[in-house]
Amino acid sequence: MPDDNSPDVSPDVSPDVPAEDDAETTETTDTTVAASSSKSSSKKRASDRNADVAQLGYEDARDELARIVAQLEAGSVPLEESMRLWERGEALAAHCHKWLDDAQGRVEQLTGDKADH
pTM: 0.58
Separation CA 71–CA 67 (nearest Å): 6
Separation CA 6–CA 35 (nearest Å): 46
Instruction: Strands of the chain (E only): list them.
Output: none
Separation CA 64–CA 50 (nearest Å): 12
Separation CA 67–CA 63 (nearest Å): 6
Q: Report pLDDT for 113.
A: 67
Top pLDDT among 24 and 110 is at 110
Separation CA 38–CA 92 (nearest Å): 23
- Give the model confidence (pLDDT) of 19-49 as tens digits: 555 555 445 445 555 555 555 565 567 668 8
